[in-house]
Amino acid sequence: MTEKMTLSAARYFDSEPRQLEIASRLYSLVATAPLVCPHGHVDPRMFADPDYQFGSPADLLLIPDHYIFRMLYSQGMPLESLGIPRLDGGPVETDHRKIWQIFADHFHLFRGTPTGMWLAHELQDVFGVSEKLNGRNAQAVYDQIEASLKLPEFRPRRLFERFRIEILATTDAAADRLEHHRAIRESGWGGRVVPTFRPDGVVNIDRPDWKQNLIELGEVCGYEISSYVHLIRALEERRAFFKEMGATATDHAALTPLTVELSDAEAETIFERALRGTATESEAARFTGHLLMENARMSIEDGLVMQFHPGSYRNHNQVIFEHFGYDKGCDIPVAVDFTRGLRPLLNRYGNDPRLTLILFTLDETTYSRELAPLAGHYPAVRLGPAWWFHDSLNGMRRYRDQALETAGLYNTTGFNDDTRAFPSIPARHDLARRADADWIASLVVRGIVDMEDAEEMIHDTAYRLAKKAYKFD
């Protein structure tokens, strides 16, 4: 017998009666507040076409979500069996019912995980599934979701409105022509979807696809990117175009937070060595560090918010990378040094309030030791929310406790959902709002803040901090 799936109204709250009462009250103030989604990876083409359909339940919920398939892979299921496309076009499972069956047979793997929490909310609240998913009811649940996806109210634009999304930012490569964003703007639809400028592909010279990315950047700019000077010019031009198309932010990733100020001659020498394929690992790191400095300068000039998330060893699993490519759930955290690494950038630009630099981490030990003190001092620095492996109930609690003492609440930036799985967005925001309501309630119970302050704080964490930090006004 399959059990009914129920979402407790008091889920994620502490059971101590007074804290539970206050948390419930605080959550009720923001439960239906608009969603501000400043940092995500949803494909904008789904909003460009008013008749866009998601495809099968596996297309929508499983294949694009590395949170799901990385767990299944860790338990021995080949990515081919989950329908993940291979770079070489090799055979993968194309029967989406079989893929869904594998997922349902192993749904227990997500018990207690953030993915399990999001999926429970998503299945019940978005698709009306009333039973716990398992191998026995897998096909019936598939049928229910498939039938829903054929309805007009499950078109992406209609769901955007149903989810109460006020603004959603995508993440787009430097050479992206933003044709889907242009189509959205010209369609007359009222939903606000904006791009985010992501230049990693052309500034991280150790990437295997760097030269191809440079070629594509040159094509969109109308000239060959054959020198460092050309690269800087191209970045400035593309940032201006992205801003014209509604962007308010840039997004940067690197293995470490190393920042370095090179002379133009040094930068040109490394660029030329990279073109010849002879740049060393150290030179690549220094070049990326210098380009971070240059993008900070550009942000002061053009006003775009700068997001930076170092500390991830990208594509750690070489076998998966070679067969399936980027973003396949095998990015693993490494320990990094923000204090020393960011000092050159912060000494040059961190005292200028025209710069907003939002820092993310995968290494929780840096919250209280480095990141919160940096955000609590430099006018330019803000601390991003718990991210990736820590965007969970427990991770959010630890983040708030560790950051409050030296950064305070108002040097943080609210919540971002950082997802490719569009229907999971409301579930992720709901979990964050409940986690924050419970944390703020604990401050009230201990006499640290009063209810008047608490009510202001929950509105800030749920809505106002993100909107302000990303200049969405």
The per-residue pLDDT for range 38-77, each reduced to its tens digit, is 998 999 999 999 999 999 999 999 998 888 999 999 999 9
In terms of domains, do 65 and 119 share one?
yes
Of 103, 127, 154, the one marking the end of a domain is: 154
In a domain, 98, yes or no: yes
Domain that holds residue 388: 17-52+155-469
CA 368 – CA 364 distance, rounded (Å): 8
| 249 and 105 part of one domain | no
pLDDT of residue 6: 83
- Are 258 and 358 within one domain? yes
Domain identity same for 48 and 76: no
What distance in Å separates the CA atoms of residue 114 and residue 123, rounded to the nearest whole number?
Answer: 14
Examine the domain organization and report whether 300 and 405 are in the same domain. Answer: yes
**pLDDT value at residue 156:** 97
The structural domain count of the chain equals 2
Indicate whether 389 and 434 sit together in one domain: yes
Residues 284 and 397 in one domain: yes
| 267 and 147 assigned to the same domain | no
Percent of the chain with pLDDT over 70: 100
Same domain, 193 and 340: yes
* 10 domain-assigned: no
Confirm whether 7 is domain-assigned.
no
Q: Please report which confidence band the pLDDT of residue 1 belongs to, taking 50, 70 and 90 as the band edges.
A: low
pLDDT band for 457, please (50, 70, 90 cuts). very high
Residue 12 belongs to some domain of the structure = no
Last residue of a domain, one of 109, 134, 154: 154
Does 198 lie in the same domain as 75?
Answer: no
User: Does a structural domain hold residue 394?
Assistant: yes
Q: In terms of domains, do 48 and 122 share one?
A: no
Q: What is the pLDDT of residues 233-277, one digit of tens each?
A: 999 999 999 999 999 999 999 999 999 999 999 999 999 999 999
Does residue 11 fall inside a structural domain?
no
237: in domain: yes
Query: Of 139, 154, 169, at which residue does a domain stop?
Result: 154
d(CA 359, CA 373): 12
- CATH number, domain at 385? 3.20.20.140
pLDDT digits (tens, 9 = 90+) for 278-298: 999 999 999 999 999 999 999
Whether the pLDDT of residue 202 is over 70: the answer is yes
Please check whether residue 286 lies inside any domain of the structure. Answer: yes
* Tens of pLDDT, residues 337-374: 999 999 999 999 999 999 999 999 999 999 999 999 99
Region 404-419: mean pLDDT is 95
pLDDT at position 473 is: 85
Write the CATH number for 61.
1.10.2020.10
Confidence tier at 4 by pLDDT (50, 70, 90):
confident
What pLDDT is attached to residue 2? 64
- Mean pLDDT (the chain) is 96
Please check whether residue 139 is in contact with residue 101, taking contact to mean a CB–CB distance below 8 angstroms.
yes
**Model confidence, pTM:** 0.96
Based on the fold, state whether residues 47 and 58 are members of the same structural domain: no
